Amino acid sequence: MTHFNARAKRRTMLLVDDEPHVLSALSRAIRARYRDAPMSVEIFERPADAIERARAKRFDIVISDMRMPDMDGATFLQVFREIQPNVPRVLLSARADVEQLSRAVNHGRICRFCEKPWVDKDLLDLVEKEIEEAEILAEHRAIVSRRRIEAGQMSEAQEAMRILMEEHPLLAEVQMASDGSVLLQSFPD
């Protein structure tokens, strides 16, 4: 497995678990693996806080525990997917039942499931693989968009808006006209 290049773009990871010692262990493993590579990690004990952060910042991967008191991991990953649909989602659990896993796969569209306790190397190899696959899919979307522009099926402004919306989740609520212009709506005071 190739590791991220230190000159590569900074990647971002979102970790969600209600147990601080799990977040601490994951953070230590990530810091050890990515000592010389650009990996930024944000940790949250409450899924609601992580959802709010995901509305403001794009992540390259999210890892969530399944069993949490306020919101389970399947529900959290389903909401996260609505905000950032192209980001790989990994579910951690020590005791997930078949119904929970089924919900996580079918609604949260998790990419991977990892049992607790995990093996650091295996989990981080999985993280790298998922990020690399997501980047390949993003490159593919960009190629398709370029071909649509060349064929006159899409304007360059529309492609620029697509990229902006992918990189900045809060822009997802912006409406765009068919010519690529941004539609702004004024609200009464």
- State residue 1's pLDDT score: 44
> Is 85 in a helix, a strand, or coil?
coil
Residue 135 CB-density burial (10 A; 0-12 exposed, 13-18 middle, 19+ buried): middle
pLDDT-derived band at 10, boundaries 50, 70, 90? confident
Residues 6+ away with beta carbon under 8 Å from 80: 14, 50, 51, 54, 62, 64, 87, 89, 108
| Total domains in the fold of the chain | 1
- Please state whether the predicted TM-score (pTM) of the whole model is above 0.85: no
Residue 170: which pLDDT band, with cuts at 50, 70 and 90? low
Encoded tokens for 89: 């989602």
Give the domain CATH number at 143. 3.40.50.2300
Question: Residue 125: how many CA atoms within 13 Å on its side-chain side?
Answer: 7
AA identity, residue 40: S
What integer pLDDT is reported at residue 188 of this predicted model?
Answer: 42
pLDDT band at 176 (very low <50, low <70, confident <90, very high): low
| Interior angle at CA 76, CA 74 and CA 81, nearest 5 | 95
Q: How confident is the model at residue 115 (pLDDT cuts 50, 70, 90)?
A: confident
Nearest to 19 by CA among 92, 124, 127: 92
How far is residue 156 from each of residues 159, 170, 179, measured CA to CA in Å? Answer: 5, 21, 10
- Beta strands at 182-183 and 175-176: parallel, antiparallel or unpaired: antiparallel
Between 40 and 100, the more confident residue is 40
Give the domain extent around 32. 1-189
Judge contact between 96 and 79, C-beta under 8 A: no
Q: What is the DSSP letter of 67?
A: -
- Which residue is it, tokens 């590791």? 3
Residue pLDDT, tens place only, 140-165: 988 998 898 899 998 888 888 777 77
Q: Tell me the pLDDT band of 71, cut-offs 50, 70 and 90.
A: very high
